Amino acid sequence: MIHETAYIHPAAVVEDGAVLGENVKIGAFSYVGERVEIGPGTEVMTHVVIKGPTRIGRDNRIYQFASIGEACQDLKYAGEPTTLDIGDRNTIRESVTMHRGTVQDKGETKVGHDNLFMINAHVAHDCVVGNHCIFANNATLAGHVHVDDYAIVGGMSAIHQFCVVGCHAMLGGGSIVVQDVPPYVMAQGNHCTPFGINVEGLKRRGFDKSAIRAIRAVYKNMYRSGKTLEEVKKEIAAQADDEPALALFLDFFERSTRGVIR
């Protein structure tokens, strides 16, 4: 179904079965497959390929040469009808690639809202990306990676399969991430190591001085006190009721499977 207000350039191809919402724009030489749903106000520029099953929300901007919803690069993939789900108000710049999931995971790659994917960023199969994230040029996510809200991934960085990058974390350019990065932490290097907390980012997002002090204290406990991670976890759990910002650490530790950067 194609809404009457949608615009499709005469040189574009939109297969039967695609669903285009109100005021969707499809540019010249772009291709939209039969199992693709695009929400209101989304603009697909020239030379974009979108295959399905893929659902794209409203008010997204997808720039030229992006490849969205293609079959994944996993040798176990055998053509199963897995999906890609993209939320609202994302900016997907030139040559970005986002692949569908695999049945070995949940069968879905998921991208949230208000994210910026700069040129040539890659989101592999079964990744989960939160909201308000920034991926600089050539940032690469391997399969099954989780990147939480407000995280920033620097240019030319690569994140290993199954890693978790916590909320408000910031990865410097050229980082190679092979273990999980806790919330609020700034990290960089090959292999990626921590360099403090993302204070400026937290201030911009409205964290008060009390919350930032508590987060900094957790960082010092994790990386400078000589305590084991299990000891630190217990202390965070005892403090989280008084400082809600610390709850993100507890959620992160529950999902961490590759170990935490040290």
SS3 211: helix
Query: Which residues, 6 or more positions from 7, have their beta carbon under 8 angstroms from its beta carbon?
Result: 23, 24, 25, 26
Render the burial of 15-51: b for 16+ CB within 10 Å, e for the rest. Answer: eeebbbbebbbbbeebbbbebbbbbbbbbbbebbbbb
21, 112, 143, 166: the active-site residue: 143
126 is catalytic: yes
Spot the catalytic one: 99, 122, 125, 160. Answer: 125
Catalytic annotation present for 122: no
Residue in 126, 148, 149, 180 annotated catalytic:
126
Give me the half-sphere count of Cα atoms (radius 13 Å) on the Cβ side of residue 44. 35
3-class DSSP state of 101: coil
- Positions annotated as catalytic residues are 125-126, 143
